[in-house]
Amino acid sequence: MEIQLPFLQAALGGFSFVPLVMGDQSRDTCEELAGTIVRAVGTRKVLIVGSSDLSHYHAYEKAVVMDRRALDHLVRMDAVGLLKALEDGSCEACGGGPAAVAVMAARGLGAERAELLRYANSGDVTGDLSSVVGYASITFLRDSKKNSLDK
């Protein structure tokens, strides 16, 4: 939240927000939280942000492979597949639960597809490819003619 909030304040100005932090990131908890968000939102226009970095401290090439697995699930809006891949270790995201909740809530609020806006890892910035951390930005969309469903 300490990363997202200043950015949102600069981009959006004044707004109200409800911060949520997840401890238990199980499928049941993710589904319950996403359902609660969808019911609470109703027809209001909201911005839902699910924040996580991706792989941690792998060599560049291994990180890219792991991150691509996570991103493939997110872009397909496959929250359950993401949670399974996190569980079996084929990808990493310390905030995988919040990412899955964002996908589930976006679907519940009418999103039909996702678009990867940007992917990079720390090696792309520092040049040190020996031990990197992955990052990405994805938006969820209702359809090609509507604005993005807030993530």
3-state helix, strand, coil in the chain (%, to 5): 45, 15, 40
Whether the full predicted model's pTM is greater than 0.85, yes or no, is yes
pLDDT at 148: 41
pLDDT tens per residue across span 86-143: 999 999 999 999 999 999 999 999 999 999 999 999 999 999 999 999 999 999 998 7
pLDDT tens per residue across span 67-91: 999 999 999 999 999 999 999 999 9
Domains of the chain plus CATH, in order, are 27-37+50-149 (3.40.830.10)
Neighbouring residues of 113: CB distance < 8 A, sequence distance ≥ 6: 77, 140, 141, 143
CB 74 within 8 A of CB 103: yes
Q: Token digits for 100?
A: 């899955």
Q: Is 22 helix (H, G, I), strand (E, B) or coil?
A: coil
